[in-house]
Amino acid sequence: MKNTLMIDMDTEREDVIRISKPEDLSNAVDDSDKARQMVLNDLTTVCNALGTLIHLSDANGYMDSKTASKMCIDFITSNFTEETPNNGDTNDLETESDDENNGH
């Protein structure tokens, strides 16, 4: 699969996160089935990119992969599921203190 997805985050804008595609790809969507498949492909792309960032973070000693994965899962759970109420800030991942990240 080949997919292009651009994510732009600017906390000084009203619409903090913008997700876009090159014009030729976004114009190719002409029915709901293609739009659905495009969104599923984009979710797959974001998940794979997130996995790559988690791996790079771990490999470079910035944060172990277990902590980084948990941080991401907790963020998604608290902001996008009904089980846990939204904390009011859906734009920021908050890392725990260095002591907690390193198991101290």
Task: Tell me the pLDDT tens digit for each residue of 10-47.
Answer: 999 999 999 998 877 767 778 889 889 989 999 999 99
Confirm whether 11 is domain-assigned: no
Cα-flanking dihedrals φ and ψ of residue 71, to 5°? Answer: -60, -45
What percentage of residues in the chain have a pLDDT greater than 90? 59
Q: Which residues are paired to 20 by β-bridges?
A: 6
Confirm whether 2 is domain-assigned: no
Residue 8 pLDDT grade (very low, low, confident, very high; cuts 50, 70, 90):
very high
Instruction: Considering only residues 93 and 22, tell me which one the structure prediction assigns the higher pLDDT.
Output: 22
Confirm whether 47 is domain-assigned: yes
Spatial distance between the Cα atoms of 85 and 102, rounded to a whole number of angstroms: 28
Confirm whether 55 is domain-assigned: yes
pLDDT greater than 60 at residue 50: yes
Confirm whether 39 is domain-assigned: yes
Q: Kindly tell me the burial class for residue 41, based on how many C-beta atoms sit within 10 Å of its own C-beta (0-12, 13-18, 19 or more).
A: middle
**What residue numbers bound the domain in which 96 lies?**
30-101
The total number of structural domains that make up the chain: 1
Confirm whether 24 is domain-assigned: no
Confirm whether 36 is domain-assigned: yes
Which pTM was predicted?
0.69
What percentage of residues in the chain have a pLDDT greater than 70? 77
Confirm whether 12 is domain-assigned: no
3-state SS assignment for residue 91: coil
